[in-house]
Amino acid sequence: MVLAALILVPLGLALVALLWPVARQRPWLLPLGGVAHLVLSIVAVAGRPEQLTPWLGLDPIARLLLVAVSVLFLATSLYTPGYLALKPGRDQRVFTACLLALLGMISAILAAQHLGLMWVALEACTLTTAPLLYFHRNARSLEALWKYLLVGSVGIAIAFLGTLFLAYSALHAGLKPSLVLSDLVGDAPRLSRPWLHSGFVLLFIGYGTKMGLAPMHTWKPDAYGEASGLVGTLLAGGVSSAAFLAILRFHKILVAAGDGAFGRQIMLVAGLLSIAVAAAFMARLRDFKRLLAYSSVEHMGILVLGVGIGGGATLGAMLHLVNNALVKGVLFLAAGNIHRVYGSKRAAAPEGLTPTPHEGERGEAADEADRPPPSATSPALASSVPVSGLLRRLPWSGALLLLGFLAVTGSPPFGTFVSELTIVRGAFATGHGAAGVAFLGLLFVVFVGMGSTVLAMAQGPAPSTVPAERRDTLLTIAPVVALLACVLGLGLYLPAGLQTAFAEAAAWLEGP
Amino acid sequence: MSALASPLLVVVLLINLFLLGTSRVRAAITGAAAQGVLLGVLALVIDDALSGSHIAVAAGAIVLKGIAFPALLARAIRDLAVRREIEPLIGLVPSLLLGAIGTAASLLFASSLPLAPAHEGSLVVPGALATVFTGFMLLTTRRKAITQVVGYLVLENGLFIMGLGLLEAMPFLVEVGILLDLFVGIFVMGIIINHMRREFGSIDTERLTSLRE
């Protein structure tokens, strides 16, 4: 019941949002949905509900993620009314409805124990995010949307093929093909190996595309770069994490079949590759929203790497799953504030570094030239000044971005430090020393690359051209502060209940 | 497995090669439509026993893949006055060659996978893989948004063939899922193509290059 409500309540509210007549009140359906969802999530996680149908249920990882996504959505939903108030004239009806529907679909992925249902829910996620990405209605967001949809749909299609392969592995073994996770885990030792293995590879590529792992990440910088901060938050913290859970469910089947090493090997390589690609692109990237997208590629890589290493690192990956989801909220929402006030998503050049012509300058100039008249309808984009002097001009958002940067790069005392440290320790404890060293090196490169951009934004004089009436408001700051506090809290003190939950999640994945 | 299934799949494979080799957008759409109709027929003959879900899936495939989507795409090229030639990123002959290699590789790979007794010697698995590969090639090497959508359609056709192999055993939900998602996917892409035309005055995805590092 509770699980069905987790899916149906947001969907019902989405319908209400479509029908609600008063535009000024409509965005407040979002916090309503957020609160209802959080309450239901806590009931679902604490109550350990009876399994009414084999199709819906919460595995230990889904429990963790459900609460994290719920908190993330609540924070985002509190942020949204203030955001939408600044964007009159856009299609807020569809935007609000799609945000709520997205929440319902993410819950459906988390609660789905039937792998076909999970696939349908993820596909539905892709479609509900399409109007969200096209909110600004300009050529750039259209381009981002096309890439997102095309690459995403192909990924989803490959994942479907993998699901069929998995079903075939049961058919070949003479078992009644079932796509219910517990059945597959129970029958795992008897599944046909060649089908299981090739199915897993296809599923990893397919759902990995939705996660944004390199080299299937190409849609991510475009989509996150053009999406508003709150949509980026839900994509990077919600949808990507849910796609990771999807991969983990198939990994669980591999582990149960006694072939965990096969999946771990793939994940180890894919994880390191994603982190390396992200690190390479993040160095001296001036567009701070694309920078966050690459940071998301990096962190998806870290999650996969943690599970790929196995042992103690799996626990680290579980910790990181929650931390990453929350810290993504801090970064994307703060970046959204900055983008709105400055009307630019380009950071000033760091001191002592003149921007090379092939970067930033030319790109932005070309954008201006390419941009057809519709840009006139979005005044925020019309004046683009490189972002600098954040700490003077926007002390709250600036400080949040700076702290968010420290958190996302795994600096103490944030929760991400604990999770990344756990992964590194796991790597050395399980004899993956080389991977551990490479991981540490890449983290350092990312820290330097991201740091130079973020510091250039925070310091220096503030440009005088930014309109004085644009500033931080309570609703665009308080939710972000709350999320940051959560990440900090997870780093400082992990209550016993949470510790058990994380340990259970890791044990579920590794165990029989 | 009826004796008709393999000849039908051979025709599907030939259409794959035709799609890779044709230089006309309209011909590509017609080819994809013909493939959709064939898949519908295939659903009727694939298993010895004919059940309600076979008929539903066959009807769905013929109506959606064979008629509705192709008609939608054909209308789009008429309304948008798209140039009728396909503009591939790699030449038609190389893409045909690649397609042939892909088909051969699919046959090889499929022969390395153990088959259930019902599918021994059939072309279901290699046909599915080769069609997915063809769709992927069309998606990645064609410039026009419309031809990319045709590629996506072909890719989904490949999944459909694989689904047919499991039709008897699989829950109905997933079969409905195929058609539903296909429908919504194509529908949404159709809307975007329309927006694209208004925004760029073209549906050439080569114009979509303002977002890059």
| Cα A498 from chain centroid (whole Å) | 21
Residue A153: Cβ within 10 Å count: 25
In a domain, A473, yes or no: yes
Facing residue for A149 by CB, picked from B115, B189, B212? B189
Residue A374: its chain B contacts at CB < 8 A?
A: 199
Confidence at residue A76, expressed as pLDDT on a 0 to 100 scale:
95
Q: Which residues of B touch A363 (CB under 8 A)?
A: 212
* Chain A environment of B211 (Cβ under 8 Å): 140, 143-144, 147, 221-222, 225-226
Of the two residues A301 and A53, the one the predictor is more confident about is A301
> For residue A300, which of A348, A345, A240, A251 has the smallest C-alpha distance?
A240
Domain membership of residue A368 (yes or no) is: no
Q: Which amino acid is at B28?
A: A
A49 against A487, higher pLDDT: A487
Residue B83: pLDDT band by 50, 70, 90 thresholds? Answer: low
Structurally, chain A folds into a number of domains equal to 1
pLDDT of residue B82: 64
Asked if residue A374 has pLDDT above 50, the reply is no
> B163 is written with which tokens?
């689904």
Per-residue model confidence (pLDDT) at position A370? 37
Q: Evaluate whether residue A189 is within a structural domain.
A: yes
B199:A222 CB<8 A: no
CB contact under 8 A, B188 and A225: no
Instruction: Mutate one of A160, A183, A216, A384 to test the B interface: name it (highest B CB count within 10 A).
Output: A160
Whole-angstrom Cα distance, residue A99 to residue A14?
Answer: 8
The model's confidence at residue B178, banded by pLDDT at 50, 70 and 90, is: low
Nearest CB neighbour to B188, from listed A127, A143, A359: A127
Among A426-430, A436-440, B202-206, the least confident range: B202-206
Categorize the per-residue pLDDT at B32 as very low, low, confident or very high, splitting at 50, 70 and 90.
very high
- What is the rounded CA–CA span in Å between residue A108 and residue A410? 30
- Do the chains contact at A179 and B174, CB–CB below 8 Å? yes
Shortest distance, CA A263 to any CA of chain B (angstroms): 19
Q: Is residue A366 part of a domain?
A: no
Flag whether A372 is in a domain. no
Q: At what angle do helices A240-256 and A139-172 cross, to 10 degrees?
A: 20
User: Tokens at residue B33, please?
Assistant: 């439509």
* Among B155, B181, B211, beta carbon nearest to A140: B211
Q: Is the pLDDT of residue A206 over 80?
A: yes
In a domain, A181, yes or no: yes
Measure A113 CA to nearest chain B CA, in Å: 14
- Smallest Cα distance from A55 to chain B, Å: 12
Q: List residues bridging with A180 in a β-sheet.
A: A114
Give the total residue count for chain A: 512
The amino acid present at A266, given as its one-letter code, is: I
Mutation target vs B (from A94, A117, A134, A164; most B CBs, 10 A cutoff): A164
Q: Which chain B residues have a beta carbon less than 8 Å from that of A158? A: 132
B50: three-class secondary structure by DSSP = coil
Q: Is B116 left (phi over 0), alpha (psi -120 to 50) or beta?
A: beta
Beta-carbon separation of A149 and B188 below 8 A: yes
Nearest chain B residue to A369 by CA distance is B210
Asked if residues A135 and A228 have their Cβ atoms less than 8 Å apart, the reply is: yes
Query: Is A345 inside a domain boundary?
Result: yes
Cβ neighbours of A200 in B, within 8 Å: none
Determine the distance in angstroms separating the CA of A195 from the nearest CA of chain B, rounded to an integer. Answer: 7
More confident residue, A149 or A234: A234
SS3 helix, strand, coil % of chain B, rounded to 5?
75, 5, 20
Confidence of residue A371 (pLDDT cuts 50, 70, 90): very low
**pLDDT, greater one: A416 or B169:** A416
- In percent, how much of chain A has pLDDT > 90? 58
Burial class (CB in 10 A: 0-12, 13-18, 19+), A5: middle
pLDDT value for A318: 95
Residue among A115, A146, A203, A282 with most chain B CBs within 10 A, to mutate: A146
Structural domain of residue A55, as residue ranges? 2-359+380-510
Query: Tokens for A19?
Result: 């029908």
Q: Do A146 and B196 touch (CB under 8 A)?
A: yes
pLDDT digits (tens, 9 = 90+) for B118-163: 777 788 889 999 999 999 999 888 877 788 888 888 998 898 888 8
Cβ neighbours of A149 in B, within 8 Å: 185, 188-189, 192
pLDDT band at residue B64, thresholds of 50, 70 and 90? confident
DSSP letters along A360-385, please? THHHHHHHHHH--GGGGG-HHHHS--
C-alpha gyration radius of chain B: 17
Q: Write down the residue that tokens 């299981």 correspond to.
A: A196
Asked if the Cβ–Cβ distance from B181 to A147 is below 8 Å, we say: no
- State which amino acid sits at residue A188: A
Residue A376 is predicted with a pLDDT of 36
Confidence (pLDDT) at A366: 37
- Asked if B139 is an interface residue toward chain A (Cβ–Cβ < 8 A), one would say yes
Mean pLDDT of A174-180: 82
* Neighboring chain B residues of A203 at a CB cutoff of 8 Å: none
CA distance B207 to chain A (A): 9
Q: Does B201 touch chain A (CB under 8 A)?
A: no
Answer yes or no: do A149 and B155 touch at CB < 8 A: no
Write the pLDDT tens digit of every residue in A387-398. Answer: 888 888 888 999
Q: Among A332, A448, A453, which Cα is nearest to A390's?
A: A453
Cβ burial of B78 (10 Å; 0-12, 13-18, 19+) is: exposed
Instruction: Judge whether A367 lies within some domain.
Output: no
Put simply, whether B213 touches A (Cβ < 8 Å) is: yes
A370·B210 Cβ contact <8 A: yes
Instruction: Flag whether pLDDT at B14 surpasses 60.
Output: yes
Cβ–Cβ gap A179/B148 under 8 Å: no
The per-residue pLDDT for A368 is: 35
Average pLDDT, chain A: 87
